[in-house]
Amino acid sequence: MTIAAAGDGDTWGISGPAFLSIYIVGLLVAFVVGAIVRSYLTRGRFAPGFDNLGPQQAAYLNGGPVLAVYASLGGLRRAGAIGANPDRTLVPTGSMPAGVTPLDQAVYNAAGKRIRAKDLPSDPWVAGAIDQLRDGLEGAGLALSAGQRQTSRLISLLFVPLILVGVARVVAGITNDKAVVFLVILVIVSVIFLLVGLNRAPFRTKAGTQALRTLRIQHQYLAPRQAPSYATYGAGAAAMGVALFGAGSLFLLDPAFAAEAEIQRDISSPDGGTIGDTASGCGSGSDSGSSCGGGSSCGGGSSCGGGGGCGG
């Protein structure tokens, strides 16, 4: 990229094309550093048995606390231990099955208090079981901790100095009657990267994502498109179907119960995606830079070549 020499009338003594080149380099540096940090945070560890998860562990990785609760409901419902009243509250309908998890016990206990399914995650006992589930996944290197997710978000602040300098340059360029169209576009791109990075963070590690992928392959027969007959499967398979393929599986298992319990079909995953999405780091993607030169114009008849500029 050829950088034009600064002229006497150039803002800050830097020509427009030169400033654009510097800004693009800064944008790329912030983007690459952020990607490296997020990649480090999400590497996880592929310890022996990392892909041998139970239904509720898989559900938490796939859709967070709500889907973990739904996976528990699916297993308990298939075991005949829980049902729903006409007023949409849950109710125990049988004894607690053998081999249950702490979350199953908490959900069963909450059902005895005539609680609605949507309120289960806020029940103290259920919330404690979910915390225990989350801590186990974080300790196993399959989910990011709150601190790691916060770091993933805060690394996006690298774009802030770039944005501030870009805005100052735009203001100065307009004051000096310079074309700033391309710089405005780059500043907008920087703001988008900042906002996306601050509002989204990876939830699963790469090991967690691989574990889910492996489980989906192993349990492909439970996918809704396969029209699984849950009457022939046990409670564990029912829970795993919900965990891997979403809350819609509860409607295949028992549509009347799912409707009475007001089960939410579509649940956003903790990293902002949808159920079944693979984990992705925030800020990933590509940006295309436009260089000033040749016969391209910045609008209003101002050219980007020579001593003129689109960067103020």
H-only helix segments in 200-246:
206-218, 235-245
Q: How many Cα atoms are found within 13 Å in the side-chain-facing hemisphere of 53? A: 38
CA distance to 91, 186, 234, 238, per residue, from 223 (Å): 28, 44, 15, 11
Q: Give all strands (DSSP E) within 168-268, no chain letters.
A: none
Q: How many residues are recorded in the chain?
A: 312
Q: Which amino acid is at 300?
A: G
φ/ψ region of 294 (left if φ > 0, alpha if ψ in -120 to 50, else beta) reads left
Q: Which amino acid is at 271?
A: D
Q: Over the stretch 193-230, which tens digit does the pLDDT of each residue have?
A: 999 999 988 889 999 999 999 999 999 999 988 888 88
Q: What pLDDT shows up at residue 4?
A: 45
Phi, psi of 243 (to 5 degrees): -60, -45
Q: Give pLDDT tens digits along the chain (312 positions).
A: 444 444 557 888 899 899 999 999 999 999 999 999 999 999 887 766 666 799 999 999 999 999 999 999 999 999 999 999 999 999 999 999 888 999 999 999 999 999 999 999 999 999 999 999 999 999 999 999 999 999 999 999 999 999 999 999 999 999 988 889 999 999 999 999 999 999 988 889 999 999 999 999 999 999 988 888 887 888 999 999 999 999 889 998 899 999 999 998 777 556 545 454 333 333 333 333 333 333 333 333 333 443 445 666
Output the CA torsion sign for 70, 71, 72, 76: positive
Indicate the pTM of the whole model: 0.74
Domain boundaries, the chain: 1-42+147-201+281-312, 55-144+205-260
CA distance to 127, 195, 222, 229, per residue, from 249 (Å): 23, 34, 8, 11
